[in-house]
Each structure stands twice: as C-alpha cells, then as structure tokens.
Chains A and B, each alone.
Chain A
C-alpha cells in the first residue's frame, strides 16, 4: 500500500465527476483527497486524486477511469518529480494576546498568512504539501481549532513534461 497522486483530465459536464466517483465507490477504492478545477483548455477540467492502494490496484483503477468516455487522460504522478500543493484555512482560537502572538509567530515560520482577525480567533491561510499543512495544523491544536478546511492536493510534474488532454505518446487504453 502506498499513496498515489493521480491526475485526470476530463471533459466538463454535470455527470463527469459523478461517473468518476461512482467508479471509485463501486470498486471500493478509497480517495484520500480530490480536487477539481478548470484548466487552460476550454471545456477541460483537471482532477487530482490522492489514493491509497497497491500498485496493481492503482493500475486497475486507472484502466477503469479510462473507460469513462469523458476521461481524456490519466497519469500517476507518484514516481515523477512534481510539485504538490494544498491550501488550508484554519480558524485558531486565541483567547489572550500572548496566544495570539504565538499563533502569528508559528504561522510566520510556516509562511502562512493571517487572513482574518476576530476578538477570540485568527484565521490562517497556509499553502504547501500535505505534510506541511498537517504539521502546522498539529501545532495549532493546543490552542483550539475552531474550524478547518482543506482544498485537497493539486499537483503538476516539474520540467518540460505536461499532463494535458490531447493525445500524447502514452498509450491511451480504452475499450
């Protein structure tokens, strides 16, 4: 079992996400995180999924994803040099001025930003790989986390290689 970052370029449409999720549910394949958003190509969305599973299971789910007609391309970035980021907003409880100062200091070390201030709390925005966000969240726990939201991972390979929707040299296997 290991973590895999799958990137799928898919055609925009109300049913596409439904199909992909239905497939994961049907094959009992757990998704750790999922994010979807528009790309530079018109009508093409990009799905980033972090999944936990054996390599053979990830291969199987990749093949199943290719069977979704709206799925153009699926890449497993796990073994490629890549940039992975997620964004989190954390509302941290700070009852006293010293606490507030400490929270701001920790945030600063993580290059996180204070984006909202209220009488008993601070809202911190942090961006980075999952481990960095995890570790910052852990540090805030003793103060009391009032609310937490994470976007899920987005990822991109480093260098010249691109994961786009057009036909690439990678064999697209569909039935």
Chain B
C-alpha cells in the first residue's frame, strides 16, 4: 500500500502502515475476537509477513528469537530489528505475558500489540476483557493503552524507539477494538520522538573511563566478564581489540556466550553456576574484574558477598540501575558498550600494562586440571555432552544453537564451541521452559543463511510442542535435538544433591513416542540411543532439506557439573562428578526405560 497525505486511515491500517514504516517484515500472532479488524486489513500490506502460531506465548518467543538472531547482523541501535507479535484481548494477551517477561529479563527488543474490547466496554468485565496494560507494567520497558486512534502513529514510533534503543526491551501497545475500526487523519509517520524522560547515556564519562584505564594498567590478575551487552551493542570487534591489546582473558556470562570467539587464545568460556571451573577460579582469584554489559546476575556471580573478594570492579553497562545493584563497584561506567570500549582502549598505555603471562599460565593450569567432561566413545549409555559435541562436529561450530532451559541448556553452553555473535540463544533471565522451539523458529526466519539447531529436553519440549505445526507448515528448516532423559533433569539433579535424593514429581517416563509424534506433524525423525548412533542420526537430519527431529535417548541421571551451589561463591565451585558414578547411577536408573534402537 502506498500512501499519500493527507488521508484517513482506520486504526488497524494505521498500525499496519506504522509497522511498514518501521521496517517490520515478520509478525507472529494469532487472531481472535477483538483483534479481527487488524487481521482484516493485514492482506492489504503484503510487506507484512504473518506467521500463524498455535499459542500466543510462542508468538512472543518467536519474535524474541527473531530479534536476537537478527542482532548478529550489526546495525546502529536506531535500526535494530525489533520482534513483533500480535495477540487478541483477554486470554490472547495474557498468553503473551510469559513471552514478554522473558524478553524483559533478557533485554530483547520486542513490540507486542494486543487488541482490547471496545472503549465503551472497557472496565465492564466484558467478554475477553483483561486489564492487560495493568498486567504488563512491571514486565515491559514501557506500555501504552491507546484509547484514541489519533495517537497511534506517535505511540508506535515511541514504542519502536524505546524497544530498540538504550537497553532494549519489550514494549506493549494495547488498542481497543473500536479504535481499530475508526478512521483517523493520517498525517504521515512521525520522524522523531519527543520523550524528555528518556535519554539513554550512550557515550561514557571520560573521567571514569580514564580511572578504569589506570586500574587496568596496574592490574596483575585481571579478567573480563562479557555479558549480553557486548552482543546487543554489536561490540564484539571492540571487545576483541580491547582484550588483545591488554592481554586480559575473557569469559562470558550465559547470555554473553558468542560475544567473544571461544576458539580465541584469550577465551575462557563461560562462568557461573555451571560455567567452567577455571573461569570461576579466575574471577575468584582476580585483582580486577571488568564487567562489560552484564547485570551481575546471581547465576553468574554466585553469592554476591563472596564475589571476587580480592578484586577491584569496573562495571560497564548502559543501564545505571544495574551498576551497584548486586555487587559493590569501584569504577562505574554508564554507556553503550561499543562506545565505552572504543574510548577505553586508546586510553590504555601499552607500556604501563603489567605482564599477565604468569596469570594466564595459572588459569591454563586450572583449565588442564579441570577439563570438560570427556566420555569414552563406547559408553553403553548416551550422555548429553556427547550429543552436543557431535552436533558441534557436524556443523563445524557454524550453527545457531537455540537451547531451552535445564541440563541440556548448560551442556549446550559447555560443549559447543561458539565463535559467531548470537550463535547461542537461550532464555537466561527468566529461564522459560519451552522457549527453544518457538525461538528457534524465529531465529531461523531471521537467519535463513544459517543452520539452526534447537536443543531441547523432553520436559521443555512438551511445554510448547504444538508449534511443530508451524515448523511443518511453513517448512522452517530447524533441526531439533531432543535430549530425552524422561526427567525434569535439572530439578531431579537438585533433588538428588540438595534434597537428600528425595525425587518428587520429576519423572516424565511414559511420555509420548516422539517419533510417532513427529510423524503426526509430517516431520521426519530419527532416534539415537547409543553413542555410535549419534553421528548418523545427525547427518540424516542435516541432509534432509526441511525441519527434522532427532530424539536422543540419553542417560537418565547424568548431572551437570561444574556446579556452584546456590548460596556459595564462585570459588566454591564443585568441579565434577566422576564418570564412573554418573554411569553407575545411569545404569541403576536405566531399568524401565525402553531402548529400542534407531527408528526410521
């Protein structure tokens, strides 16, 4: 649709035209009563490609995965790709809540548009009425209830601006049905926003940058912790240059994974609850922690009071509210990571830097002492790391891995070598089980050039597997690695260790036959039960041009290590459970689980 001004548009067309103006090409949603006027005009806007989901929660997760995967293509913040999802009033809107909250916790640029009952019905407890803007206040960066359609272009302009700039996040726009149907003057889409209360700090204060530079020059045992801010800011090149110049080793948070290439000599992998022993030891023994674009989350930092006890802390983040929130900070730097690193790097005098060779050597020794868990090739049972390592080999580390939440999420973080930005996507902050299947669909639509692997456990898979219909019908070529241990594995592990082995309501045995389930959706599927079946199954799935599922029947009771138990500090990390004990428990539990070889 090509518009000339002035003209009149109804609210529905005004929304669609605004989305076109914002460069939106893909929308995820599901229609219902109140939002039907918007769907009624959608076909008039061929630029807007709509993906019909099976549950609104997944519309938000798909938009989330779409936005994150798009961010690998570096863009200025004003042009960041924003995920867009639609939902109708009442249950359609409340179903979006988990997905919006997930995006909020992980700073994902998202615009969620819902319809509500007509203005004259608002507040009457009408059919499918919910006070959805009341509900989304604490889980959005901003939200709008647009009771007058003349505000729509301004509101959408603001919504996209807020979602994609500064610290990104979700913005929710709720529009009563009659506003969608009423005609308003369309005077063109605004070219700027007027938000006096919103002025993100992009360029840092140089006094603090210089102060940080002096600390860095003096440090004997420095480490860099890179969070998702590096990815959001597109600062991977700046980070690499900074690390190479200063020879400071880099570890990432869970969401920071892939912000620094893991095959780089200075890469330490990730830290935190299930991060590497050497990374956690490095932080614990460091004399300077440079936290870049992270929010000092408890999963990354362990017990706050015991975090890096000997270190000064430089904290760089675009959100000042994150600085000093959880952990004491010596030098706070507020600004966009790419801008901060670009200013910080030239401030460092190479001659003033301390020699870190001994420190790097100490970390290398820890790394050798506590290597990634390695299994013999001929184990009778299949272990989750073996699967992830096989996917890494088969994809040559070039895939985008979208992991769900639980043990497989941690194994996927540990055993795949991530070298490209946003090649690891997961629900970090909210820990939303069921995230990976919809998010991988979104990621694949954003990155048709990449192979996308959805790594999912059987517990998570059963939370959103209705989206297999989307996978099949749109032929989105995601490869699903279903790591089936017939347990809520992470909860089972914690009950085992922290609740005296009292396993309560974690056994998922008797679940569906996933091969038959895949067949019901017309998706080819393979099953691997032993290590020697893994590579063939992965190759078969990769050779198939469309979506495919590989079910890996993995050992039921493997535990994720390293492990920083809740309430302990990173230095207290428990390195490993020996292979033998893992195997013994696996064998003990293997009894009732059917092992019937490869299907199809």
Contacts and interface: CB of A to CB of B under 8 A. Distances in A.
Interface stretch (A30-38, A129-137, A143-151, A167-175): A167-175
A19 interface: yes
A165 interface: yes
Interface string A52-76: 0000100110011011111110000
B197 A72 contact: yes
B200 A22 contact: no
Which bracket fits the contact residues of B? Answer: 20 to 34
B339 interface: no
In the A-B complex, the 3 residue pairs with the closest CB atoms: A175-B319, A63-B321, A173-B320
B167 A175 contact: yes
Interface string B182-206: 0000000000000111111100000
A18 B134 contact: yes
A161 interface: no
Chain A: interface residue count, which band? 20 to 34
Contacts of A69: 141-142, 162, 195, 197-198
A43 B329 CA distance: 38
A72 B319 CA distance: 16
A23 B137 CA distance: 9
Nearest to B196: A72
B114 to A, nearest CB: 15
B364 interface: no
B324 interface: yes
Contacts of B201: 171, 173-175
A40 interface: no
Given A15-B143, A15-B145, A175-B319, A60 B324 contact: yes
20 contacts: A10-B197, A14-B145, A15-B137, A19-B137, A22-B138, A56-B324, A60-B321, A60-B324, A60-B325, A66-B321, A67-B141, A68-B197, A69-B195, A71-B197, A72-B197, A171-B201, A174-B166, A174-B199, A175-B201, A175-B318
Contact of A165 (B137, B196, B318, B321): B196
A173 B143 CA distance: 20
Given A174-B166, A174-B201, A18 B321 contact: no
Interface string B163-174: 000110000000
B402 to A, nearest CB: 26
Interface string A3-24: 0000000110011001100110
Interface of A: 10-11, 14-15, 18-19, 22-23, 26, 56, 59-60, 63-64, 66-72, 165, 167, 171-175
Contact of B198 (A10, A60, A165, A174): A174
B133 interface: yes
A69 B197 CA distance: 5
A18 B137 contact: yes
| Most chain B C-beta atoms within 10 Å of own C-beta, residue among A10, A11, A15, A67 | A67
Given A22-B137, A175-B318, A59 B324 contact: yes
A46 B318 CA distance: 27
B77 to A, nearest CB: 12
A175 B320 contact: yes
A72 B194 CA distance: 13
B163 to A, nearest CB: 12
Nearest to A14: B145
Contacts of B82: none
A130 B145 CA distance: 38
B197 A11 contact: yes
B321 A70 contact: no
A149 to B, nearest CB: 27
Contacts of A70: 197
B268 interface: no
Interface string B310-325: 0000000111111011
